[in-house]
Structure 1
């Protein structure tokens, strides 16, 4: 891949004395959707946290050609890298609309996403636009978290387990939102357990095992690799 938007080389990370990431390499191109698969506990969430500066990284991380390893999370975000954590962090006492406004990085420079656009895509958020976000369902909080990140107009967005614990109908809506983000030309790194969503949206697939990348290929190639699925994904 020539001039990737995001490149990670030799990434190591630790929690105390526990060596979680062991030399992770991955790349994401302009407008590309990449899925990061693997069982729980293999280091997928730690990978995106290390890229975002929430976990101290060792190794080289470049975003649009510039080193970002060692920067603070807010500095990385200002460069155009968005992050949707699995924890669905919203401000519960603020309204849905206020949460969305907080996602805007530059009030003088409109991005490709507007509050009206977000509320139009999700009528259930629109109906609660002036309601405290704390009363939303888990699925609605997930949508709000993704939409708030989009309000910052990121060039690449990392989304960690967006469908975890959601009802099938909401899973479908979240999948449609991620597909729409991709159609808008935003690069995506998707950490996801549900293969049906990941393989439908992604152009390439990485599989992690024991803190390392054990497979990298297209969804079509991955579909033929029963050995990879059995060894690294199936419980």
Structure 2
């Protein structure tokens, strides 16, 4: 599904990604773990063309490194940034409609399904999205991305700053996305969420992958946890 080889990225003269290697198989959920500032979000942005990548990023066998981000999105990649960008003056329903890439094709998700999954959004469906809480905006950005029917979705820090109840709801939604057969790259700090959902784990440090394995294997590696995750 996605094959990343020797990926480098820079912010000005700052070398942020230093030879990242990663693979995501069809239907697989990958958790990308690491401390803040090690390059996890930059990896997501490089895949989506928001940061200029150097190296190879192949999606379904096709090289996408260097393509404009709108072309990457139309190929079947979805992206939920940590900024939770929504159109505040448009209604919740209108925000969801903006996520649809092809009005003539029925995807796996509908607006009614999104609103049924999240009653909070349903109650505010015709209200301006700007009045939503932080948790509701996170739900909306995820739902809007799903409306584009992606084959792979990158979700960056979906539970950051959310109340425990909303964290649980977001975790349940990610699990539902996985059940629908969508591949997921989850950038997440909360190990309880990431390890429960993921098929495999990558740990990043200093702009490169320092560990990969299954959640069960990772659970036995206190050395990795202490060196690369604990503050």
1:137 aligns with 2:133: yes
Gaps of 5+ in 1: none
Show the counterpart of 1:39: 35
Correspondences of 1:1-235 after superposition (within 5 Å): 5-235=1-231
Pairwise CA distance, 1:65: 0.2
Pairwise CA distance, 1:110: 1.0
Alignment size in residue pairs = 231
Q: Distance in 1 between matches of 2:16 and 2:103?
A: 39
Q: Distance in 2 between matches of 1:153 and 1:49?
A: 19
Q: Distance in 2 between matches of 1:48 and 1:173?
A: 23
Pairwise CA distance, 1:34: 0.3
Quote the RMSD (CA, aligned, Å): 0.2
Q: Distance in 1 between matches of 2:42 and 2:63?
A: 19
Pairwise CA distance, 1:153: 0.1
Spell out, residue by residue over 1:163-205, the C-alpha distance to the aligned partner (whole angstroms, 9 max, x if none): 0000000000000000000000000000000000000000000
Gaps of 5+ in 2: none
> Normalised by the size of structure 1, how large is the TM-score?
0.98
Moved over 2 A (4+): none
Pairwise CA distance, 1:45: 0.1
Other structure's SS at 1:88 match: coil
